[in-house]
């Protein structure tokens, strides 16, 4: 009898090992190959898995092994993407099966579909051809139209001798400086190779349609795959298939696209590289930007990181010469950056007084200074954009007679008041963490008082006030609620582009990336709420966001003049974030932040790992982490240079009835951190079923390089 073929398969379960199966080449039609996607019997059902090893032996009794039941009609995952998965699994301390399988689109994970899929693909092809013709292309700036600054950026980028080698480049350019036009021109030279594939990552789904149109305009003859989580499953399945078979030359997508197989990957662009959305916040908590850099290094390809406000990590790497550093310091369409004004809300001069003829009837959430500036901007037929980073009407409902507040019964947070027609036909309370929706109580649940009042303000309240102050203006609210309701976000953005609105109120959704052409004024209302956060990255994020919002103003302004105005309402105009913004001094702010971090030995001057624990009671979660720390100490693992903090409740301690705690580890040495995290993984696995501890049922997770603490 010939020796049997055994394959090791990983599945989407929190189990450290792979499982052995027999391979029946006759039944499956081919010999086994590493990377094949298969269906295997597992317990009483079947699972999708990936072959990671082929051999003639098993440590188990061959007689008892089950056979692989089906093979997906796909080429095997290529070796480069498997290396990436292996690296991600090791670096992020997450088992291989749980790393790979979730990156395969659903369509390919239903083996019942496998026979029908070829037909589906054909149908999708036809539809796509049609769609390609329908989709509007826009914003074409061909190479010959690039300005001098862009041209020289392109020359440095097209360092042909260095192609086919790893190279990381920071393209740091003002908002509106024409970074997109530069990297598209660069990609066009790489795409001259017919086989080449390029990956373009964008931080948010909302930004893909705009970039998709620009890429289509630039590359009408290239096949493009768009990958993000809002794309219907089957369409995503087809896009992924075209990427993994090399049929698509351009792969454009959000963070999940970074893990797509691309056998001929020749260059990567990470647009808005600083954006926190690149960090996956559940399952394997990877940074798509960091993985993309690793991937470029691994396949010896160049990677371009683009931003107006680079992350401190990237900026320091460029300063130190580890990354090539290319800058664009002028706006492409000629205008300057907007003039920034800080409005001190504590200064009575900025507030309405009883004698003012333009004083609104109700209390205005906007200062007099800003109201007058917006009126002037409206008169000049320009659009205004008001940023308030809180959706809903009011962040909390309160009782005027007692101390009742609208606490969520399941979370350690408040339920947000939403006005009638926003979420529901009626006004409701809604918890933004667990999703709980409740009617607004008619009387205070504690004292029966009927006088309940919303505290603070969200987008809906500001929208109401604006409608009251400027009854003739066309007002549009853009937040996740309004974009979910009738129109998608893209339609809302189109309304702004088409000039059908005068005043836009929105959350950070409106701030990023969009190339609006007629905005004369932008204003940020609630910046202060993010000044004093316990998260050491809060200021960096606030700064980046304010630069982005500022960047929406005056893009098409007059050559040589300030491009519009930006107003920031604040009680702390002297705060460094605002002072650097006033001067548009991105480098100054980053260098100030770098000094602060260096003194405190915070990332990027150290590396962090976070152990999360979730339990029914906070005590148990803390206890679980304390005893973990105790064991690490006892084993002598908390060596010199490693700092293990005490376990603490998370900032948002309770969500949907679960209590959450964390243990932070910090080291100046990557390797030391890696070793301790691996030891922790082993320790915890020894007493857990998957990632749930036996006995106390505590759910735990290890996170590498956390970005919010
Ligand atoms: P960024 O990505 O830096 O924000 P974009 O590439 O989106 O900038 O360019 C901003 C705007 O300037 C776009 O409307 C774009 O069409 C326009 N633009 C870019 N390059 C040029 C150029 N060389 N001449 C004229 N307009 C340009
Ligand atoms: Zn009360
Ligand atoms: Zn809740």
Residue nearest to atom 10 of ligand 1 (CA): 176
pLDDT exceeds cutoff 90 at 160: no
Q: Is 218 within 8 Å of 186 (Cβ atoms)?
A: no
Q: Is 9 within 8 Å of 36 (Cβ atoms)?
A: no
Rounded distance, CA 471 to CA 505, Å?
Answer: 15
Ligand nearest, relative to CA of residue 450: 2
Q: Is 338 within 8 Å of 562 (Cβ atoms)?
A: yes
CA of residue 407 to ligand 3 center, whole Å = 8
Maximum distance among all alpha carbons in the chain? 101
Residue nearest to atom 27 of ligand 1 (CA): 332
Q: Is 284 within 8 Å of 278 (Cβ atoms)?
A: no
Q: Which segments of the chain belong to CATH 3.40.1440.60? A: 6-76
pLDDT band of 566, cuts 50, 70, 90: very high
Rounded distance, CA 455 to CA 156, Å?
Answer: 53
Sort 20 into a burial class: Cβ within 10 Å, 0-12 / 13-18 / 19+.
buried
pLDDT band of 584, cuts 50, 70, 90: very high
- Write the pLDDT tens digit of every residue in 7-28: 999 999 988 789 999 999 999 9
Rounded distance, CA 276 to CA 230, Å?
Answer: 19
Residue nearest to atom 26 of ligand 1 (CA): 333
Looking at residues 364-371, what average pLDDT do you find? Answer: 93
Rounded distance, CA 455 to CA 306, Å?
Answer: 39
pLDDT exceeds cutoff 90 at 556: no
pLDDT score at 394: 95
* C-beta 364 within 6 A of ligand 1: no
Looking at residues 690-701, what average pLDDT do you find? Answer: 94
Residues written for the chain: 709
Pairing of strands 197-201, 658-667: unpaired
* C-beta 333 within 6 A of ligand 1: yes
pLDDT exceeds cutoff 70 at 390: yes
pLDDT exceeds cutoff 80 at 286: yes
Superfamily of domain 6-76: PriA, 3(prime) DNA-binding domain (3.40.1440.60)
Question: What percentage of the chain carries pLDDT values higher than 70?
Answer: 96
Residue nearest to atom 8 of ligand 1 (CA): 178
Residue 614 bridge partners (DSSP): 660, 699
Neighbours of 367 (CB within 10 A): 21
The number of the ligand 1 atom at minimal distance from the alpha carbon of 179 is 3
Residue 383 bridge partners (DSSP): 519
115-328 to CATH, choices 3.40.50.300, 3.40.50.150, 3.50.50.60, 3.40.605.10:
3.40.50.300
Q: Is 369 within 8 Å of 353 (Cβ atoms)?
A: no
pLDDT band of 289, cuts 50, 70, 90: very high
pLDDT exceeds cutoff 90 at 553: no
Pairing of strands 197-201, 250-253: parallel
- Write the pLDDT tens digit of every residue in 65-86: 999 999 999 999 999 999 999 9
Residue to probe by mutation, ligand 1, list 137, 140, 141, 514, most atoms within 8 Å of CB: 141
pLDDT score at 486: 56
Rounded distance, CA 566 to CA 555, Å?
Answer: 13
pLDDT score at 136: 64
Q: Which segments of the chain belong to CATH 3.30.70.600? A: 607-704
- Write the pLDDT tens digit of every residue in 478-525: 998 888 765 678 888 989 999 999 999 999 888 877 888 899 999 999
Output the DSSP codes for 570-591.
ES-TTSHHHHHHHTT-HHHHHH
pLDDT exceeds cutoff 70 at 204: yes
* C-beta 184 within 6 A of ligand 1: no
Q: In the structure encoding, which two tokens stand for residue 394, read together?
A: 């009011």
* C-beta 178 within 6 A of ligand 1: yes
CA of residue 657 to ligand 3 center, whole Å = 8
CA distances from 444 to 402, 406, 408, 416, 684 (A): 9, 10, 15, 16, 46
pLDDT exceeds cutoff 90 at 643: yes
pLDDT exceeds cutoff 80 at 132: no
Rounded distance, CA 185 to CA 200, Å?
Answer: 13
CA of residue 370 to ligand 1 center, whole Å = 29
CA of residue 340 to ligand 1 center, whole Å = 22
Rounded distance, CA 307 to CA 181, Å?
Answer: 13
Looking at residues 673-684, what average pLDDT do you find? Answer: 96
CA of residue 334 to ligand 1 center, whole Å = 10
Rounded distance, CA 320 to CA 316, Å?
Answer: 6
pLDDT exceeds cutoff 60 at 1: no
pLDDT exceeds cutoff 60 at 298: yes
* C-beta 331 within 6 A of ligand 1: no
Residue to probe by mutation, ligand 1, list 333, 335, 511, most atoms within 8 Å of CB: 333
pLDDT band of 153, cuts 50, 70, 90: very high
Residues 580, 582, 585: CA angle, nearest 5 degrees: 40
* C-beta 185 within 6 A of ligand 1: no
The number of the ligand 1 atom at minimal distance from the alpha carbon of 173 is 3
Residue to probe by mutation, ligand 1, list 150, 175, 176, most atoms within 8 Å of CB: 176
Q: Is 437 within 8 Å of 392 (Cβ atoms)?
A: no
Rounded distance, CA 185 to CA 218, Å?
Answer: 8
pLDDT exceeds cutoff 80 at 129: no
Rounded distance, CA 601 to CA 606, Å?
Answer: 6
Give the N- to C-terminal CA distance of the chain in Å, as an integer. Answer: 59
CA distances from 247 to 194, 196, 251, 265 (A): 10, 10, 10, 12
Rounded distance, CA 665 to CA 643, Å?
Answer: 6
The number of the ligand 1 atom at minimal distance from the alpha carbon of 145 is 23
* C-beta 176 within 6 A of ligand 1: yes
Q: Is 540 within 8 Å of 593 (Cβ atoms)?
A: yes
CA distances from 83 to 108, 194, 283, 291 (A): 21, 25, 19, 11
Question: What percentage of the chain carries pLDDT values higher than 90?
Answer: 76
CA of residue 209 to ligand 1 center, whole Å = 17
Assign domain 339-392+458-591 to its CATH architecture: 3-Layer(aba) Sandwich (3.40)
- Write the pLDDT tens digit of every residue in 432-460: 999 999 999 999 999 999 999 999 999 99
Q: In the structure encoding, which two tokens stand for residue 617, read together?
A: 């009671």
* C-beta 99 within 6 A of ligand 1: no
Q: Is 691 within 8 Å of 15 (Cβ atoms)?
A: no
pLDDT band of 691, cuts 50, 70, 90: very high
pLDDT score at 134: 61
Superfamily of domain 607-704: Ribosomal protein S10 (3.30.70.600)
Range with the poorest average pLDDT among 2-6, 322-326, 648-652: 2-6
* C-beta 706 within 6 A of ligand 1: no
Sort 238 into a burial class: Cβ within 10 Å, 0-12 / 13-18 / 19+.
buried
CA distances from 601 to 354, 536, 590, 651 (A): 51, 11, 16, 22
The number of the ligand 1 atom at minimal distance from the alpha carbon of 180 is 6
Looking at residues 414-420, what average pLDDT do you find? Answer: 95
Rounded distance, CA 609 to CA 574, Å?
Answer: 34
The number of the ligand 1 atom at minimal distance from the alpha carbon of 175 is 4
* Residues sharing a CB contact under 8 Å with residue 455, sequence separation 6 or more, in sequence order: 394, 395, 396, 397, 398
pLDDT exceeds cutoff 90 at 335: no
* C-beta 459 within 6 A of ligand 1: no
* C-beta 150 within 6 A of ligand 1: yes
- Write the pLDDT tens digit of every residue in 250-273: 999 999 999 999 999 999 999 999
* C-beta 116 within 6 A of ligand 1: no
CA of residue 430 to ligand 3 center, whole Å = 8
> Among 114, 116, 115, which residue's Cα sits nearest to residue 37?
114
Q: Is 190 within 8 Å of 220 (Cβ atoms)?
A: no
> Among 567, 368, 369, 394, which residue's Cα sits nearest to residue 464?
394
pLDDT score at 526: 86
Looking at residues 154-176, what average pLDDT do you find? Answer: 86
């Amino acid at each position: 009898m010939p020796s049997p073929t055994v394959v090791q398969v990983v599945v989407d379960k929190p189990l450290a090992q792979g499982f052995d199966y027999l391979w029946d080449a006759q039944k499956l039609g081919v010999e086994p190959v590493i990377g094949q996607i298969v269906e295997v019997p597992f317990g009483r059902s079947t699972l999708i898995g990936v072959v990671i090893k082929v051999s003639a032996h098993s440590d188990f009794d061959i007689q008892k092994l089950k056979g692989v039941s089906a093979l997906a009609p796909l080429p095997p995952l290529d070796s480069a993407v498997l290396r990436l998965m292996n690296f991600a699994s090791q670096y992020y301390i997450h088992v291989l099966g749980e790393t790979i399988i979730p990156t395969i689109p659903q369509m390919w994970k239903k083996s019942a579909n496998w026979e029908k899929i070829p037909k589906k693909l054909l149908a999708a092809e036809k539809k796509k051809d049609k769609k390609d013709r329908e989709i509007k292309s826009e914003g074409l700036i061909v190479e010959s139209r690039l300005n001098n600054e862009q041209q020289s950026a392109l020359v440095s980028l097209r360092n042909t001798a260095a192609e086919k080698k790893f190279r990381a480049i920071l393209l740091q350019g003002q908002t509106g400086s024409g970074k997109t036009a530069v990297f598209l021109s660069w990609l066009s030279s790489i795409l001259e190779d017919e086989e080449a594939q390029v990956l373009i990552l964008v931080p948010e789904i909302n930004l893909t349609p705009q970039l998709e149109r620009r890429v289509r305009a630039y590359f009408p003859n290239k096949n493009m795959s768009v990958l993000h989580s809002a794309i219907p499953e089957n369409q995503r399945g087809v896009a992924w298939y075209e990427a993994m078979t090399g049929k698509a030359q351009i792969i454009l997508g959000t963070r999940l696209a970074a893990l797509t197989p691309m056998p001929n990957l020749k260059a990567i662009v990470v647009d808005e590289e600083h954006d926190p959305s690149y960090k996956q916040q559940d399952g394997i908590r990877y940074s798509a930007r960091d993985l993309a850099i690793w991937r470029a290094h691994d396949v010896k390809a160049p990677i371009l990181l683009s931003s107006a406000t680079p992350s401190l990590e990237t900026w320091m790497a460029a300063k130190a010469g580890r990354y090539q550093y290319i800058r664009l310091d002028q706006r492409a369409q000629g205008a300057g950056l907007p003039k920034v004004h800080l409005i001190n809300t504590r200064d009575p001069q900025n507030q309405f007084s009883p004698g003012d003829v333009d004083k609104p009837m109700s209390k205005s959430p906007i200062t007099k200074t800003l109201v007058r500036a917006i009126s002037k901007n409206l008169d000049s037929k320009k659009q205004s954009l008001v940023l308030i980073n809180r959706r809903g009407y009011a962040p909390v409902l309160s009782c005027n007679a007692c101390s009742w507040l609208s606490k969520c019964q399941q979370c350690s947070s408040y339920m947000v008041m939403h006005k009638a027609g926003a979420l529901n036909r009626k006004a409701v309370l809604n918890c933004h963490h667990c999703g709980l929706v409740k009617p607004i109580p008619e009387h205070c649940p504690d004292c029966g008082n009927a006088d309940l009042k919303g505290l603070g303000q969200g987008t809906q309240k500001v929208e109401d006030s604006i409608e009251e102050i400027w009854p003739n203006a066309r007002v549009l609210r853009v937040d996740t609620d309004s974009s979910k309701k009738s129109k998608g976000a893209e339609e809302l953005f189109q309304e702004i582009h088409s000039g059908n609105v005068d005043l836009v109120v929105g959350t950070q959704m409106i701030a990023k990336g969009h190339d609006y052409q007629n905005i004369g004024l932008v204003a940020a209302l609630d910046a202060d709420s993010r000044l004093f956060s316990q998260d050491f990255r809060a200021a960096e994020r606030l700064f980046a966001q304010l630069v982005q919002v500022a960047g929406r103003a005056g893009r098409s302004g007059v050559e040589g003049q300030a491009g519009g105005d930006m107003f920031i309402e604040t009680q702390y105009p002297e705060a460094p974030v605002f002072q650097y913004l006033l001067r548009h001094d991105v480098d100054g702010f980053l260098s100030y932040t770098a000094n602060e971090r260096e003194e405190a030995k915070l990332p990027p001057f150290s590396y962090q790992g976070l152990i999360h624990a979730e339990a029914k009671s906070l005590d148990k979660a803390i206890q679980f982490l304390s005893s973990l720390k105790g064991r690490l100490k006892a084993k002598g693992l908390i060596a010199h240079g490693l700092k293990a903090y005490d376990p603490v409740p998370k900032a948002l301690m309770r969500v949907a009835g679960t209590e959450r705690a964390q243990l932070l580890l910090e080291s100046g040495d990557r390797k030391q951190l890696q070793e301790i995290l691996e030891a922790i993984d082993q320790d915890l696995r020894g007493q857990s079923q998957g990632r749930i501890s036996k006995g106390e049922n505590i759910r735990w997770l290890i996170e590498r390089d956390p970005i919010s603490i």
